[in-house]
Amino acid sequence: MSEAVTATPRHDSAERRRATYQDVLDAPPHRVAEIVDGVLYTQPRPAMPHALASSRLGGELTGPFDRGRGGPGGWWIIDEPELHLGEDILVPDLAGWRRERMPEFPDAAYVTLAPDWVCEVLSPSTRRLDLQGKRPICAREDVGHLWLIEPSDHTFEAFELREGRWVLTATAKDAEPVCVPPFDAVTFSLGDLWP
């Protein structure tokens, strides 16, 4: 059983202190810390099915898109990057940048350039934050593609940002094939993400 996401207490907005990067740095080292709309959220490392789905998806994409092996290359695909987007600090499960937008790989603890693609692996403890807190920030920052993976029911949803709104472009379940922009140069089985 996983612990719930915890947030700093909310008070009247006039009294509430907005979380800062120092709050992220001061968070316990065994927890993932993020700031969404001025509130610090912390959660434990992901459960094993979550971690496996994220790792395997990264493995499916890294060869052809990051390394150019069996695919077009041209991307940086990163596990759990720390994104500083305005005052918000997000740590998506996976993110990708087209190398034409980020030609040099950063030598820093975080990235300030919004990714071109984000993937969140949903879990009961992070679902609400991922969907209601982080997804709007990705839209605001003009992230072009958002993928959602649900290990508990073996589902996949892909969204594309169009005129500032997320549009569902593809779904898959169990072991169906996935061939979806921006990574539609290759096809993989969704079943490869599950134990």
Buried b (16+ CB within 10 A) or exposed e, 68-104: eeebeeebbbbbebbbbbeebbbbbbbbbbbeeebee
Place of tokens 């779904």: 171
Mean pLDDT, the chain, rounded, equals: 93
Handedness of CA 174, 175, 180, 183 (dihedral sign): positive
In a domain, 36, yes or no: no
For the chain, where are the alpha helices, taking DSSP H only?
Answer: 21-26, 48-61, 127-128, 135-140
Question: Of 14-18, 73-77, 135-139, which range is least confident?
Answer: 14-18
Higher pLDDT, 6 or 166: 166
Percent of the chain whose predicted confidence (pLDDT) is above 90 = 87
- In DSSP notation, 77-110 reads EEES--EEETTEEE--SEEEEETTTS-S---SSS
Q: What are the structure tokens assigned to 54, written together?
A: 């994220």
Q: Answer yes or no: is 88 within a domain.
A: yes
Residue 88, domain extent = 46-193
In a domain, 131, yes or no: yes
Contact 137, 85 (CB under 8 A): yes
* Structural contact between residues 133 and 35, judged by C-beta atoms closer than 8 angstroms: no
Give pLDDT, residue 25.
96
Is the distance from CB of 106 to CB of 41 less than 8 angstroms?
no
25 occurs within a structural domain:
no
For residue 11, what pLDDT band results from cuts at 50, 70 and 90? very low
Query: Is the residue at 82 inside a domain?
Result: yes
CB contact set of 163 (below 8 Å; sequence gap of 6+): none
User: Is 183 among the domain residues?
Assistant: yes
Answer for the pair 75, 98: CB distance below 8 angstroms, yes or no.
yes
At residue 137, φ and ψ (nearest 5 deg) are -65, -40
Please state the rounded mean pLDDT for residues 103-114.
Answer: 96
**Domain containing residue 159: CATH number:** 3.90.1570.10
> In total, how many domains does the chain have?
1
Q: How much is the pLDDT for 4?
A: 64
Q: Residues 70-78: what's their mean pLDDT?
A: 96
Q: What size, in residues, is the chain?
A: 195
Is residue 26 included in any domain, yes or no? no
Describe the strand order of the beta sheet including 39-44 as a list of residue ranges. 6-7, 39-44, 31-36, 88-90, 83-85
pLDDT band with cut points at 50, 70 and 90 for residue 125: confident
The arithmetic mean of pLDDT across residues 188-193, rounded, is 97
| 116: in domain | yes
